[in-house]
Amino acid sequence: MKKAVIDTNVLVSATLSSESNPGRILDLIAKKKIQMHYSVGILDEYRRVLAYKKLNILIQTQEKTIAAIEELGVLCGPGISDTPLPDESDRIFYDTAKESDAILVTGNTKHYPAEPFIMTPADFLSLIKTEENL
């Protein structure tokens, strides 16, 4: 089973559109075909961003999303790296993915170094389909 750390932009996209590539990824997590890894800091960011008024995400949807992550995901501590990142606020995702030996799925690959474990949702779905014939 592939392990993934989901960047906040992917979670938000999935929450807003279940038919999108990010939505498909969350569906595979719900079906236990992908193992989601997260840290306390990532969960805090998810809560904060899902609550943005401009996103207009119902509080029940926010709560259901967070509860599903806590139920289905694997809580882990982020490692600590010194890899330079364009945006230090993304470090928690990078370090958690490295620590978990997981794929970091993000819509903002330019915020991270070009490394094989960092993928867009479309690339991640292609990898899953190829490797696991989903």
Query: pLDDT tens digits, residue range 22-80?
Result: 999 999 999 999 999 999 999 999 999 999 999 999 999 999 999 999 999 999 987 88
Mean of the pLDDT values across residues 85-97? 91
Domain count, the chain: 1
**Quick one: residue 105, left, alpha or beta (phi over 0 = left, psi -120 to 50 = alpha)?**
beta
Mean pLDDT of 93-116: 94
* More confident: 36 or 85: 36
Residue 10: give its domain's CATH number.
Answer: 3.40.50.1010
Q: How far apart are CA 133 and CA 69, in angstroms?
A: 24
Whole-number pLDDT of residue 88: 87
Residue 129: pLDDT over 90 = no
Strands (E), 1-134: 2-6, 34-38, 74-75, 103-105, 118-119
pLDDT at 54: 97
pLDDT class for 84, splitting at 50, 70, 90?
confident
Q: Indicate if the pLDDT at residue 118 is higher than 60.
A: yes
The confidence band for 130, taking pLDDT boundaries of 50, 70 and 90, is confident
- Predicted local distance difference test score (pLDDT) of residue 78: 79
Mean pLDDT of the chain: 93
Query: How far, in Å, are 31, 34, 50, 79, 99 from residue 55 at the CA level?
Result: 26, 26, 7, 31, 31
Does residue 104 contact residue 39 with C-beta atoms inside 8 Å? Answer: no
Please identify which residue in the block is written with the tokens 């990142």.
Answer: 85
Domain that holds residue 54: 2-132
Burial class (CB in 10 A: 0-12, 13-18, 19+), 99: middle
